[in-house]
Structure 1
């Protein structure tokens, strides 16, 4: 499975984005069953992409994340390349479509 970084403050989130050219943020809440079911699938989906760094944010713990990224629901997945959002997927994600998007973006930037 893909290595995942726990980001526990908005400062950590900002540093994570600054430090990695390709960042994938997974925002969830503890009480969200969809969030728990989807996270292992996302980790597996990202496994073939060594340049994409996965960060996990608990929206209950880092409340500022909602306003920073205009988040209305969880789970939400944000892919940022060079600090710019290139993918946004939320709630019920079509993994096949997300895989296609990741492949296209990864090939463009590597």
Structure 2
């Protein structure tokens, strides 16, 4: 089973993104009901793609990063390929559509 690694420092985040060909980060905020309700659905989807390394960030702790990555809402789901942002979904994410997008990318890489 593939679990989310909680990323706590900017160094950890950067190392995480560069550590594998496919990495995924789930960005949430404290006290965000959408973040908490979407997380188990995203976790379930990501179990279908075992080669994708999973990470999570509570963006309240990294306001500078929020500005650098243009994160204005939560949750934000970002899939990186070779360290580059390849897919971004935010706030209300249709889970079936998200699954199909991730699957297309996964199959190509």
Shared fold by TM > 0.5? yes
- Match of 1:12, SS state, is helix
Equivalences, count: 109
2:59 is matched with 59
2:108 is matched with 108
Unpaired stretches in structure 1, ≥5 consecutive residues: none
CA deviations over 1:43-70 (Å, ceiling 9, x no partner): 1100011110111000111222212211
CA deviations over 1:56-110 (Å, ceiling 9, x no partner): 000111222212211111100000000111110000001111111011000000x
Cα RMSD (Å): 1.1
Please say if residues 2 and 44 of structure 1, whose CA atoms lie closer than 8 Å, have aligned partners that are also in contact.
no
1:16 is matched with 16
- Match of 1:79, SS state, is strand
Mapping of 1:38-57 within 5 angstroms? 38-57=38-57
- Match of 2:60, SS state, is coil
Q: Structure 1-normalised TM-score? A: 0.94
User: Aligned-pair distance for 1:39?
Assistant: 0.7
Mapping of 1:64-79 within 5 angstroms? 64-79=64-79
1:81 is matched with 81
Unpaired stretches in structure 2, ≥5 consecutive residues: none
List structure 1 segments (4+ residues) > 4 angstroms apart after TM superposition.
none
